[in-house]
């Protein structure tokens, strides 16, 4: 019995000396393992007489249980110490000031201008349409009454893609948003085909456009917004009213004038450039060109799949970058496309 007590004491000491789970398992083997001290005592039982076997056996069992209890206690203590150490290592100092997000993204000024344009025309009942930037020759030119080999095609000289369309002509990066007049009107005409009457077409189509051009006011990629209003009785005065309302809302002032200056586009007749003049502010008194426009040419109405005797309307195509430059007072168009955060963060 005495010897047994010693064994529990030395097991406790050995367990206490183990500072990791692995060390504790090693210490356990010395007492409870196959060649451990308790197992050795069990082996000695074999040689004892029956009566002694019983008492000695029970004694060894109690000893074993006592050592196991020591082991459990040490295991629990080690686990708790480990948890404490982990909590300490991962401690948060809740008294530190919070970290601000480095920078919130924001809408690009051109995107902002587009959203304004969509909202303003939306309020006047215009739908907003979106279409391909890679176009066929027919949509970019022919459908817009721009005959093959006509010099007017060079007004919108663009980039070509190394892939041909169904007519064997190279696909182009659309030089203007005008193809969307045709695409939208065709879909509209198809939708109401065979019906006695068709609701008016009233749509804008903002998006990217491409031309072989590059300087402070021209970029090879730029943005336009196309407008189209076609019905049975739509005239130039509607264009004037709609466009004036648009620029007034876009620039948030009634103190501006419009001028319609005769011009030429193959897809409108008559055609006009729209110039705008502010009555006050830094740009006061200068005519600024903001849009091409005109009454949709009857051939274009036919190419839309509509009866040119019945339907008439107007179209315009405005440079969004130009409008954004005027609204935000940006002098160089290229600033919009350089991705310089010092410039862009001013629009946050």
Residue ranges in contact with ligand PHE by CB under 6 A: 176, 178, 265, 268, 271, 292-294, 315-317
Q: Coil, strand or helix: which one is 137?
A: helix
Q: Which is nearer to ligand PHE, 206 or 292 (CB)?
A: 292
The structure tokens listed for 7 are 């064994």
Q: How far is the CB of 209 from ligand PHE (least distance, A)?
A: 7
- What 249-252 contacts at long range (C-beta under 8 Å, 24+ apart), as own/partner pairs, is 249/120, 249/123, 250/116, 250/117, 250/120, 250/323, 250/327, 251/278, 251/326, 251/327
Q: How far is the CB of 327 from ligand PHE (least distance, A)?
A: 20
Q: How far is the CB of 266 from ligand PHE (least distance, A)?
A: 9
Residue number of the CB atom closest to ligand PHE? 317
Q: How far is the CB of 314 from ligand PHE (least distance, A)?
A: 8
Residue written as token pair 């002509």 = 169
Q: Which is nearer to ligand PHE, 145 or 251 (CB)?
A: 145
Q: Which is nearer to ligand PHE, 33 or 132 (CB)?
A: 132
Q: How far is the CB of 113 from ligand PHE (least distance, A)?
A: 17
Give backbone dihedrals phi and psi of 311, rounded to 5 degrees, phi first. -110, 140
Q: Which is nearer to ligand PHE, 71 or 180 (CB)?
A: 180
Alpha carbons 42 and 223: distance in angstroms, whole number: 93
What does 141-159 look like in DSSP terms, one character per residue?
TGGGT--TT-GGGGGG---
Q: Which is nearer to ligand PHE, 136 or 271 (CB)?
A: 271
Write the burial class of residue 93 (CB in 10 Å: 0-12 exposed, 13-18 middle, 19+ buried).
Answer: exposed
Contacts of 167 (CB under 8 A, 6+ apart): 136, 137, 138
CA atoms within 13 A on the CB side of 102: 1
Q: How far is the CB of 182 from ligand PHE (least distance, A)?
A: 11
Q: Which is nearer to ligand PHE, 8 or 303 (CB)?
A: 303
């Amino acid at each position: 019995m005495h010897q047994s007590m010693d064994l529990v004491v030395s097991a406790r000491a050995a367990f206490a000396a183990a500072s990791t789970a692995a060390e504790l398992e090693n210490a356990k083997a010395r007492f409870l393992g196959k060649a451990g001290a308790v197992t050795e005592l069990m082996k000695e039982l074999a040689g004892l007489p029956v009566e002694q076997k019983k008492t000695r056996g029970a004694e060894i069992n109690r000893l074993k249980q006592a050592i196991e209890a020591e082991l459990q206690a040490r295991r629990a203590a080690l686990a708790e110490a480990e948890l404490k150490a982990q909590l300490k290592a991962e401690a948060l100092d809740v008294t530190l000031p919070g970290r601000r997000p480095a920078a919130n993204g924001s809408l690009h000024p051109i995107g902002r201008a587009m959203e304004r344009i969509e909202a303003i025309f939306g309020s006047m009942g215009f739908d907003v349409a979106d279409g391909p930037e890679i176009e066929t020759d027919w949509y970019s030119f022919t459908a817009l009454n721009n005959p093959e080999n006509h010099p007017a095609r060079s007004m919108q000289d663009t980039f070509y893609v190394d892939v041909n369309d169904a007519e064997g002509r190279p696909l182009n990066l659309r030089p203007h948003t005008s193809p969307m007049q045709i695409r939208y009107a065709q879909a509209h005409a198809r939708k109401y085909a065979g019906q006695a009457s068709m609701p008016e077409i009233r749509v804008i189509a903002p998006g990217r456009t491409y031309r072989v051009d590059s300087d402070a006011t021209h970029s090879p990629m730029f943005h336009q917004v196309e407008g189209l209003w076609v019905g049975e009785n739509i005239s130039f005065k509607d264009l004037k009213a709609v466009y004036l309302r648009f620029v007034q809302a876009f620039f948030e002032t009634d103190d501006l004038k419009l001028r319609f200056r005769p011009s030429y586009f193959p897809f409108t007749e008559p055609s006009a450039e729209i110039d705008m003049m502010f009555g006050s502010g830094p740009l006061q008194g200068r005519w600024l060109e903001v849009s091409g426009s005109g009454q949709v040419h009857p051939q274009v109405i036919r190419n839309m799949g509509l009866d040119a005797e019945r339907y008439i309307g107007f179209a315009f195509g405005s440079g969004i970058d130009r409008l954004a430059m005027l609204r935000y007072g940006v002098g160089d168009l290229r600033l919009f496309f350089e991705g310089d955060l010092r410039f862009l963060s001013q629009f946050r």
